[in-house]
């Protein structure tokens, strides 16, 4: 259900920018989803087909770019990515680590026909 509100927001943002660019049609929408932001599954695509009907974005393809969460070790400065489970620094074993990216949840760009 969560994905419906997300899909509506994507549509709103894409239409707004499409209109601003005086596009005839928005053909592609590029989303960037960080590993630590909440999960967006394929149901976004499912809702998309319904709610985009009759809008500037009808038929546009959604592209999901999932980006990993990056961590840094405070003891040895080693940078590594988060796998499915959170783990200490693989180089020195320290648990003094910080998340440096992975919270992204953005609409990055659109492609239009003018």
Contacts with Zn ion by CB under 5 A lie at 73, 75-76, 78, 89, 91-92, 94
* Residues 77-96, interacting with another protein (CB under 8 A): 82, 85-88, 95
Compare residues 54 and 98 and give the one whose CB is closer to another protein.
98
Interaction of residue 113 with another protein, rule CB under 8 A:
yes
Which of the listed partners (another protein, Zn ion, none) does 66 bind, with a CB threshold of 5 to 8 Å by partner kind? none
Contact present, 63 and 91 (Cβ < 8 Å)? no
Compare residues 49 and 107 and give the one whose CB is closer to another protein.
107
Compare residues 38 and 61 and give the one whose CB is closer to another protein.
38
Contact present, 4 and 50 (Cβ < 8 Å)? no
Chain residues that interact with another protein, rule: CB under 8 A: 1-2, 4-6, 9-10, 12-13, 17, 21, 23, 31, 35-39, 69, 71, 82, 85-88, 95, 97-99, 103, 105-114
């Amino acid at each position: 259900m969560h994905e419906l509100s997300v899909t509506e927001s994507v549509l709103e943002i894409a239409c707004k920018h499409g209109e601003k660019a005086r596009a005839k049609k928005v053909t592609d929408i590029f989303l960037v989803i960080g590993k630590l932001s909440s999960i967006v599954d394929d149901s976004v695509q499912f809702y998309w087909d319904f709610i985009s009907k009759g809008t500037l974005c009808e038929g546009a393809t959604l592209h999901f770019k999932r980006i990993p969460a990056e961590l840094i070790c405070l003891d040895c400065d080693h940078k590594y990515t988060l796998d499915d489970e959170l783990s200490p620094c693989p180089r020195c074993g320290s648990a003094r680590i910080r998340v440096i990216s992975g919270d992204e949840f953005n609409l990055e760009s659109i492609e239009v026909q003018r």
